[in-house]
Amino acid sequence: MSSPVTSSDREKVVSKLPGWLRQSLKIRAAQYGIEIQAAVEQGIREWCGLASATAPVDTAGADSFATFLPAGQWEEFRQVAADRRVSLIQGLAQSVKLWLDTNPAPDIQRPTVTRRVIVCNQKGGVGKTAITAGLGEALAEDPNSLHAVRVAKALARALRASEGESEEGLGLDDPLEVENLPGPGLRVLLVDFDPQCHLTNQLGATPLPMSGDSLTNHMAGDPKGELRDLVVSIDEDVFGGRLHLLPACHDAFLLDVRLSAVRAREAALERALAPLESDYDVIIVDCPPSLGLSMDAAAYYGRRRDGEKPGQSGALIVVQAEDSSADAYELLTSQIDDLRGDLQVDIDYLGIVVNLYDSRRGFIATSSLQGWVDIKDPRVVGVIGDLKEQKEAVRVKKPLLSYAPKSQQAVGMRALAREVL
């Protein structure tokens, strides 16, 4: 049956559709960025235009399905279904299946140059590791599933924070500000570049032994094997083999000393990681809280390469809404600016992430957030709340987006991924 609606010239149609087919329709429409009703309209039009019905579709367990179609299309469909002696439920299922078959899942848009994100701040404790992991997880999520993402307008509301405003007032907790989108499906390598091995430990991997091979050895020109052999896969059940980690080794405490004897030491990280780049769409480096030679190498690795567009690679700066982060930010940006001038390279800022934000901490937090927003260049690309799920994920040594995929922090990480890339 159908009932007219007042908006535009469409009418509401109510029928039945199997759950598996409805879910496939929902995901594929999101992949193409169109509304479900547009997909159904196209499918019915194509089905009615065929010389005969297509192969039968299993409609067992079909339940109520409603959509909006152009006026008159449903009646035409009913007549065609009657002529072909198929039920309306079977005809609709065949129409949806036809649209899915003629509109296969789009290919993943892979960059021509592996994108390199340097997550940094010389101040420890701001949550660089959590942002590195969350960003990588969000970029590697399944493109054939839907995931909750905070929409851009929610971030905009958060960035218009005023004194005393609550998390709910910032739009960080509003379900109406969340949209279900397919995962990017990118191949991601997380590089633990910190001798403290926090990223390695948080993701449930084991730090590399001091007696074996390591990223430090490769950067110092003393490899003991292939760097690729050190890479481990993270939670394949969730990320489908798209998310990998290069674990850290405690020998990285000696990296600056060893780099001091290396020629063109600013390119040491690039030389080490170059053999891996063809395997990945994005490489994200979790930097140590340092302004030494290792940070120079990381910043240089994130420089804009020939043929690469501005903003494709660069530095993502993680801060907190408090005063000491501002001091550390000034030191870091001064180092990057000096490196730009000394080596005549372009190092782009991908943005600022305000991490562990909680407006209940009062004026210091809210005014500091406003201070970061006021910088404008680089702009704030993410505000991640200080909530329990991230701490719990660290405790059980699981990726946040595996442990709590529907949490507000996970929703925010997905929004950050889409802002950055």
Give Cβ neighbours of residue 220 (< 8 Å, ≥ 6 apart): 255, 258, 259, 261, 262, 268
- Integer angstrom CA distances of residue 290 from 70, 274, 355, 383: 61, 23, 19, 24
What's the pLDDT band for 230 if we cut at 50, 70, 90?
very high
Q: Is the pLDDT of residue 305 over 90?
A: yes
Peptide bond just before 378 cis, omega within 30 deg: yes
Task: Supply the pLDDT for residue 270.
Answer: 97
Among 36-50, 54-68, 254-268, 314-328, where is mean pLDDT lowest?
314-328
Q: Which pLDDT band holds residue 353 (cuts at 50, 70, 90)?
A: very high
Residue 171 has pLDDT above 80, yes or no: no
Q: What is the pLDDT of residues 102-132, one digit of tens each?
A: 999 999 989 999 999 999 988 878 899 999 9
Sign of CA dihedral 171, 175, 181, 186: positive
- What's the DSSP call for residue 308? P
What are the pLDDT digits (tens) for 48-97? 999 999 999 999 999 999 999 999 999 999 999 999 999 999 999 999 99
Give the single-character DSSP code of 289. S
What is the rounded average pLDDT of the residues 388-392? Answer: 94
Is there a contact between 214 and 223 (Cβ–Cβ < 8 Å)? no
- Name the pLDDT band for 160 (thresholds 50, 70, 90): low
19-32 helix and 88-102 helix, angle to the nearest 10 degrees: 40
What pLDDT score was predicted for residue 161? Answer: 47
Q: Please, what sign has the CA dihedral across residues 216, 221, 224, 225?
A: positive
Query: In the numeric block, which tokens belong to residue 404?
Result: 């709590």
Residue 87: which H helix or E strand, with range? none
> Predicted confidence band at 4 (pLDDT cuts at 50, 70, 90)?
very low
Mean pLDDT of 167-195: 78
Average pLDDT of the chain is 91
Amino acid at 126: V
Share of the chain above pLDDT 70, in %: 92
Give the 3-state DSSP-derived string for 224-286, with helices as H, strands as E and coil as C.
CCCHHHHCEECCHHHHCCCEEEECCEHHHHHHHHHHCCCCCHHHHHHHHHHHHHHHCCEEEEE
pLDDT category, 1, cuts 50, 70, 90? very low
Are 99 and 50 spatial neighbours (Cβ–Cβ below 8 Å)? no
Q: Could you tell me if residue 109 is left (phi over 0), alpha (psi between -120 and 50 degrees) or otherwise beta?
A: beta
- CA dihedral (340, 197, 221, 226) in degrees, to 10, reads -120
| Averaged pLDDT, 262-274 | 95
The secondary structure element, H or E, covering residue 303 is none
Q: Which residue type sits at 120?
A: C
pLDDT at 158 over 80: no
Can you tell me the distance from the alpha carbon of 381 to that of 176, in angstroms, rounded to the nearest whole number? 20
